[in-house]
Amino acid sequence: MSTEALFDLSAEYEEMLNKGIGLSGESRQFFIEGRLKGLQALLKPPFQPSRILDFGCGIGTTSKLLSEMFPQAEVLGVDTSENALEYATEHYGSSKIRFRILHELAQESEFSLCYVNGVFHHIDPLQRPGVVTNIYNAMSSGGMFALFENNPWNPGTRMVMSRIPFDRDAITLTPPETVELLTKAGFKTVCPPKSFFYFPRQLAFLRPLEAVLTHLPLGAQYVVLATKA
């Protein structure tokens, strides 16, 4: 079964995902909220996006949370899965949150923030530069691009991905590869890659240390934050 077909199974998506991330002892919601908390810490005031692109929005959960984080902003979620977009529209669509099929992104522009999580390891490496260029073209000058990816340098990440059907054959990106991908498209990195999610629930008492470990590229996920110069 293709990756696209797996993502079209919206009803089974969360079940398949939880089968993998269950090894951490946490839920999908825990990781979504953790990423957004980390992103908010990196986006220093007075940055306030007016238009947000949730690239690879899936069933729209993060789009809704981005709207709550930046209530003054319009949020657009794009994806390749029509089933996922129908679910997202039904559950989260509003005057502030819209969802469109990916190829319609060319009709949009002036995004001041783009959020991407766990998408690029599903894109053929030869096609990644073109995808980044499309995002670059859709963003406003000075717009911020936050690209979250699974960290192949973390053994737990590799184990989790091996248990998820739609991640099993994915081609991961190391932090330096992601930085190079963005800079070649014209983005300027704002800071070195930051890592998140070092400790599973069994070691939750150590999580206060994560705030000082973000510069070590060993967390389960990392983010590269860049700007359209």
With cut-offs at 50, 70 and 90, classify the pLDDT of residue 5.
Answer: very low
pLDDT of 3 over the 50 cut: no
What six digits make up the tokens of 55? 């690239």
Percentage, residues of the chain above pLDDT 90: 78
Class assignment of domain 3-228?
alpha beta
With cut-offs at 50, 70 and 90, classify the pLDDT of residue 229.
Answer: confident
pLDDT in tens, 100-119: 999 999 999 999 999 999 99
27 or 153, which is more confident?
153
What six digits make up the tokens of 132? 């980044």
Burial class (CB in 10 A: 0-12, 13-18, 19+), 32: middle
pLDDT in tens, 41-82: 999 888 999 999 999 999 999 999 999 999 999 999 999 999
With cut-offs at 50, 70 and 90, classify the pLDDT of residue 168.
Answer: confident
pLDDT confidence of residue 59 = 92
* Residue ranges of domains in the chain: 3-228
pLDDT of 98 over the 80 cut: yes
pLDDT of 191 over the 50 cut: yes
Q: Dihedral of the CA atoms 160, 162, 168, 173 (nearest 10)?
A: 60
The CA distance from 117 to 56, in Å, is 7
pLDDT confidence of residue 6 = 42
| φ and ψ at residue 63, rounded to 5 degrees | -55, -45
Beta bridge partners of 77: 54, 99
pLDDT of 7 over the 60 cut: no
Burial class (CB in 10 A: 0-12, 13-18, 19+), 41: exposed
198 or 8, which is more confident?
198
What does the mean pLDDT of the chain come to?
Answer: 90
Residue that the structure tokens 């990916």 belong to: 102
pLDDT of 18 over the 80 cut: no
pTM for this one? 0.91
With cut-offs at 50, 70 and 90, classify the pLDDT of residue 159.
Answer: confident
Q: Taken in order 20, 21, 22, 28, is the CA torsion positive or negative?
A: negative
